Amino acid sequence: MDIKALRGSLLLLLASAIWGAAFAAQRVGMDHIGPFAFTGIRMLLAGLVMIPVSLHAGKKQKTRYSARKQIKGGIFCGLFLFAATCLQQVGIISTDAGKAGFVTALYVVLVPLAGWLILGKNPGRVILAGVALALVALYLLCVPVSGFRMEAGDLLLLGCAVCFTGQILCVDRFAPHVSGTALARDEFLVTGGLSMLIALFTEEISFGAVLEAAVPILYTGLFSSAVAYTLQIIGQRDTDPTLASLIMCLESVFALLSGAVLLGERMNGREIAGCALMFAAVIVSQLSPVIQRRRARKNAS
């Protein structure tokens, strides 16, 4: 693997770790304010933080990007992110965390299928094997032994998985041609603005309630949004979208690990097996470029 691809994978891995610790914060935040207000405030906070960052990065970058592509990318990525985060935020109200993690992470299957059917990108047998391993791992990690039952909240989370698939493919389309920090800024502002617009008409928002939810808002706004989604955009520049989705699925593993470390929760054998399978899926998928290069050399000779 070349240095750029390795760096991209490591950035996506760091983003997954940050997201993994954020799930609890999202649920705690909604004890005080509604899902649209929570999403709106955290995303607007992330967008405001990214304004000076993107301006500073713009002064240093040598490449001049198309303003039209920059605006278009921000709008499309923002619309997908808005739909995905709001569906997730509403869906987790009526669904347990484990099942929510499993249904949301189904984008690991949807990304290669959509890329293959819509964009004509064949991910290859090695990465598809990694996707299959990841799906089994997610089931072990998130679905209880009693089995899986589809409920109303799960349908919202399924829609969330579809929208995250669109966001990942959208980032893959625009990230190489625009400023990464500016794209993150724009998608946060679009998501935050639309969420707050809905919140103003559907939810009661008070200053006191926002203060009570301040810690979850700050974590999800600064780290889970501003930092992690920017890492995703920069990391995906040099990473295949299917491989990116596999690495980002490690979010479910980090969620369990953070619960064990921070909250003293114990992992059972089923969860440990799921973690091992998930890491195996990512390692297997990382071998794909190596195998493709060897095949290319063999065919050339």
Q: What is the pLDDT of residues 225-251, one digit of tens each?
A: 899 988 988 888 888 777 787 788 777
Supply the pLDDT for residue 127: 73
Q: Could you tell me which of 248, 247, 267 has the C-alpha nearest to residue 257?
A: 267
Cβ-contact 121, 55 below 8 angstroms: no
Q: Which residue has the higher pLDDT, 28 or 187?
A: 187
Residue 292 has pLDDT above 70, yes or no: no
Paired tokens of 108: 């690991």
For range 185-206, the mean pLDDT? 94
Asked if pLDDT for residue 57 goes beyond 70, the answer is yes
Count the Cβ atoms, other than its own, within 10 Å of residue 4.
11
Check whether 199 has a pLDDT greater than 60: yes
Query: Residue with structure tokens 């249904």?
Result: 103
- Kindly report which listed range (127-131, 161-165, 198-202, 229-233) carries the lowest average pLDDT score: 127-131
Write down the pLDDT at residue 96. Answer: 60
51 pLDDT band, cuts 50/70/90, is very high
Select the more confidently predicted residue: 202 or 59: 202
In angstroms, the CA 183 to CA 185 distance is 5
Q: What pLDDT score was predicted for residue 294?
A: 64
pLDDT band at 284 (very low <50, low <70, confident <90, very high): confident
Question: 243 near 129, Cβ under 8 Å?
Answer: no
3-state secondary structure of 66: coil
- pLDDT score for 301: 58
pLDDT at 21 over 80: no
Give Cβ neighbours of residue 86 (< 8 Å, ≥ 6 apart). 35, 36, 39, 195, 198
Q: Which two tokens stand for residue 179?
A: 């400023």
User: In this structure, which amino acid lies at residue 209?
Assistant: A
What was the pLDDT predicted at 197?
Answer: 96
- What is the per-residue pLDDT for 102? 65
Band (pLDDT 50/70/90 cuts) for residue 2 is low
What is the average per-residue pLDDT within 38-47? 94
Cα separation, 270 vs 218, in Å, equals 33
Widest Cα–Cα separation across the chain: 70
Cβ contact 112:131 at 8 Å? yes
Which tops the pLDDT comparison, 226 or 113?
226
pLDDT beyond 80 at 255: no
Percent above pLDDT 90 for the chain: 25
For the cut 70, the answer to whether the pLDDT of residue 300 exceeds it is no
Question: Does residue 283 have a pLDDT over 60?
Answer: yes
What's residue 262's pLDDT? 61
**Residue 293, pLDDT score:** 59
